[in-house]
Amino acid sequence: MNRKMNVNKSEIYERCFKEITRKIEGLDINDKMNMICEILKEKIPYYFWIGFYFPKSGFLELGPSRGPPACVRIATTGVCGKAAKERRPVIVPDVKAFPGHIVCDPRSKSEIALPVFDSKGDIIAILDVDSEELGSFDETDQKWLEKILHCAFSDHERNSAIFDE
């Protein structure tokens, strides 16, 4: 368990999940993403940065986020790119040990990235979360973030105004 984390992760995520489902009802994709970032960044003590990256042709572009300024365009060679290419969550306990990791802020030490799927199973975005401590993310984070993303976006379809692929 993380130094800043003296309460049960699942309890915090459960509260966040309830708040998110209540507050995103009827919102569009961007507003939902903003609300998810807002609530999770505010409520989860080890979240240093959270944001969504949209897949473009050959790179990823920053969407809604909270935390210190991050890279606006990133290559698909890092953690987010791996989550997109392999269509699965990627947990990185130590970013220095991940070949290809893209440094946006040197304070980030561990990371989780998850694909966001739409109703057809296409990838809408990648959700990326960074922590200032090593080993912050585990299967509990993955399970709850997948649940939040599924609840928020699985009834949407990719919007061609946002995506240029």
Residues that bind ligand SME (CB under 6 A): 49, 70-71, 74, 78-81, 101-102, 104, 108, 111, 128, 130
Helix runs in 25-138, H state only: 29-43, 79-86
Q: Between 17 and 76, whose beta carbon lies closer to ligand SME? A: 76
Q: Between 17 and 49, whose beta carbon lies closer to ligand SME? A: 49
Q: Between 71 and 162, whose beta carbon lies closer to ligand SME? A: 71
CB hemisphere CA count around 114 (13 angstroms): 20
Q: Between 128 and 141, whose beta carbon lies closer to ligand SME? A: 128
Least spacing, CB of residue 69 vs ligand SME, in Å: 9
Largest CA distance in the chain: 43
Least spacing, CB of residue 50 vs ligand SME, in Å: 9
Judged by phi (left if over 0) then psi (alpha if -120 to 50, else beta), residue 119 lies in alpha
Least spacing, CB of residue 100 vs ligand SME, in Å: 7
Our measurement of the distance from residue 66's CA atom to the centroid of its chain's CA atoms, rounded to an integer in Å, reads: 11
Least spacing, CB of residue 65 vs ligand SME, in Å: 8
- Report the alpha-carbon distance of residue 94 to residue 112 in Å, rounded: 11
